[in-house]
A and B are shown apart, each in its own frame.
Chain A
Amino acid sequence: MKTIHRLFPMILAINLNFILIFINFSLLQSCKGKKELDPLQISTSIEVAQVEAEFCDQKFQDIKTQKLYINLIDTSASAQKTDPTYIMRFHPIIQDSQADHGRAEDLYTLINFNDDAQVLIPWTPRGTENTPYYNNLVYNTYNNPSSWGGDQGFSDMTKGVLLAKSLIIKYIEDNVIFSGNNTVLEITLMVASDGRPTSQTQGELTEAQVLDAFVGNAQNPNNGLMGLLKNSNYSRYINKINVVSTYFWGNMLGGQYGATADPTHEALMREIALRTGGRFLMFNYGRPVNYNLFGDAAKKIKKELLSAHLHFKSFVWDPKSKEPKYDSDGDGIMDEKERELGSNPEVIDTDGDGLNDGVEYKLTGKPCRENDCSKSEIFPLCISFADENNVISDLDGDGLNNCEENLLATSYSVADTNFNGITDYEEYQMGINPALPNSWTMDSDGDKKRNFDEILQFLPSNINNNQLADVGIKPVTYFMEKTLELNDGRSCYRLVINNVPSRFNATPTDLYLVYQDFSSTKTNYFSRASFNVSANQSTKIINEDFKQIDLDTIP
């Protein structure tokens, strides 16, 4: 009996394999019948072309810095009229509410934490005209404890921090991602506490529990408020998170809340500031906080050219024959393989299911879902990404749509997930994992040329250059010089690129300009010119041929 039990799944598996092979075989047949092959296109013949580009740095863009101020206040015992200093604890925020920042676009919110956390004042604009309004809100809120449930005697600041984090995420999703106007957030979170954090169920919280809410831990670095900066879906929208941890101790009457500060709590609040790269402030008698320390002025961002490079998207290197092969549609699978698999080498998504042939092949072993490559429904894993017209958008404009990026584990809102100056699509097409924070300075194939240089020069990064098939490939050369310097600090360039691989006739090729900015974001900005090169001809590219990719292009 036992033997049969073991064998049964095997027999089933063998049968399934037969069925799958049969399906694959028929798929191959049915697709092959549809496409007339041009024998000339089967063999790869590499010619060389020249590209000459003249361009100037992009105009500077006003990147709007949206400031969000989140004030977290521990209200335990504070609203009791028996505590004459209750209003003192909130002095920092009241001071702040009285100060005129003069920036109408700044938003403030007030969160109260006790055993749980509540938003007492939702995002409120703060400009000169709104100052008295906000000021009143703060006073009125704290003078009417019944409006927020009153004191519960607990002070679990982690609840407040996590509520703040969810508010930030919601703000980004609702107001920033789709706004298309290049907003970056600068967030200042102030925690006002007057003693050790405690919760009803857990009693006094440990330092590890509190820090987890701010900075996560070794196992989960994405946890906590600062984890937002490590989450590629949100980090590009956040310029900075300033954490101000404050400890109020003592009172005017002296003694009731301690004549000296509690060293354990002070150490905790200092640790929060240290770990978040923020500031710690200890005060009593309502010493004001200088908010100037935490603010930036709005910045116009100057973008500087980081690099210019070609993407030879009509070719892939074949590790078996060690030579370049055509990839006419730029889906990352060479034409001859596509013919073998039954998909159309000239259509990036043969079955139109929303996944390009390459990603689909890697995922399922087949570039087309159905037995033939005719149109099919949206790929099941992509349904949630499709809009009502069954279109899957490409939010970051890098050439991989949101569903493909999800499956490749790259960010759909950042064109260059690993910040190496090469877009996710380029890396994917070249057979490199765009999600890996790859060491571009490494030499993976041990031929004494860095991976980064090889990619720029149309050499394979995973095949030793000494072993390449002799098909007349010469490294691509770039010649760049400045031709003009403009008054605002921008420059104009002339770039001549030789030995550009080409077919005999029109060969789709992209030229990328990569910019970095001087703000405290790690994002790279890309401009792309798409054009055809042809054997022994020079293609001229001008400023107007470049289109910005990335979120800037969202209408």
Chain B
Amino acid sequence: MCDEEDEEIMKKDDFNFEAMKEIKKISFMLIFLFSCQKGKQLQTLETVATIETVPQIDIVINNYCLTNQQEKIQFIVYNRNLKIKRSGHVYDSDGDGLDDDQELKATELGLDPLKAYTFDNFYDDLIIFKSGLTASEIPSLPVASEVDADNDGIPDVVENLLGTEIVKPDSDEDGLPDLLELHFGLNPIKTFDAAADSDADGVDNTKEISSGMPLSESNAKSEFLKKYELKITNEVVSNNNAQTCYKYTVKGLALNPILDVNKIQFFFLHKTNSELNYIFRTYLLTLNSLVKNNDPLNNKTRYILELDYLTEINTP
């Protein structure tokens, strides 16, 4: 009912971004009109083959250099405008961590799926939705500002509300920064959930996040999930007495074709002596600027984006 009209077109591997946008806009409005209020029946195992596909991109990050006192700990990349579930892709047009579908369903709050801050008050829609506040309670929230002592993407006053630490980007020190935990439905002040395996499929939650897989659904028995599983490799490019430089390659990051610009979130964590250093950056990827490259190995064309860590990622 909700999402079937455009299936045929979606199956094509060669994407026309503009055409996709139009189609999805229509289907988006349909969703809004019918709004699927009764809950959406998800596709089960048997129908997996018909799930639509979206374009994917390979990202190469050059010049990630660490001194010999620094040790790399974690690297995560995800697209804030799209998530992958067993039943297919879900879009998050405003990249606030709350799917469009969920925003539309939360009718009482009147959330805008195209606006991360529906209420213009430094509390993003995800926080509002998860706090369980009703629309009438929102004006009573403490007045917030953009002041963010730890630069973790969550303003201090909002951190107060969440109970997270104002001066620690990773309040529970589980290796996943607070904002990332919020985006993936984990608790930023609980240490255990990063190492737990919510769907007991043998892949712990941190690994699920770094490979773009769902946290509370098994990865097994799904060609669809296999196709969109992120493959991340790194290689040492140069190495001398002072520093080691790495090149990261991310293969197969899914893109939201409806939007002109996708918000790609990067997270680098490294350790200097015993101190952890968090680099948490958003890169705005313009779809129309992408150029297809031939991938003779797989006999198809792929989008490839090369980024420089020093100039394009590690700058706020």
Contacts and interface: CB of A to CB of B under 8 A. Distances in A.
Interface stretch (A14-22, A477-485, A501-509): A477-485
Chain B interface, >50% SS class: loop
Contacts of A478: 199-201, 218
A133 to B, nearest CB: 23
Contacts of A518: 130-132, 162, 187
A306 B198 contact: yes
B37 interface: yes
Interface string B31-64: 0000001011110110000000000000000000
B71 interface: no
Contact of A309 (B44, B105, B192, B200): B200
Contacts, number: 136
Interface stretch (A290-298, A339-347, A349-357): A290-298
Interface of A: 60, 239-240, 277, 292-293, 295-302, 304-309, 419-421, 440-441, 450, 452-453, 456, 478-489, 491, 493-494, 516-522
Task: Name the residue among A301, A493, A519 with the largest chain B CB count within 10 angstroms.
Answer: A519
Contacts of A420: 192
A493 B45 CA distance: 13
Nearest to B221: A479
B102 interface: yes
Contacts of B41: 483-484
Contact of A485 (B101, B162, B187): B101
B87 A482 contact: yes
Given A486-B39, A489-B105, 16 more contacts: A296-B160, A297-B137, A306-B196, A307-B197, A309-B200, A419-B192, A453-B197, A481-B217, A481-B218, A484-B42, A485-B101, A487-B37, A488-B106, A489-B102, A518-B162, A521-B163
Contacts of B164: 520
A300 B197 contact: no
B45 to A, nearest CB: 7
Given A297-B141, A305-B216, A478-B200, A484 B40 contact: yes
Contact of B163 (A304, A486, A520): A520
- What 4 A-B pairs are tightest by C-beta distance, nearest first? A520-B163, A300-B132, A478-B200, A487-B105
15 contacts: A297-B131, A297-B141, A301-B132, A305-B198, A308-B200, A419-B191, A450-B204, A478-B199, A478-B201, A479-B218, A480-B216, A485-B40, A516-B187, A516-B190, A517-B187
Interface of B: 37, 39-42, 44-45, 85-87, 101-102, 105-107, 129-133, 137, 140-143, 157, 160-166, 185, 187, 189-193, 195-202, 204, 216-218, 220-221
Nearest to B142: A292
Contacts of B102: 485, 489
Contacts of B218: 478-481
A420 B142 CA distance: 33
B197 A452 contact: yes
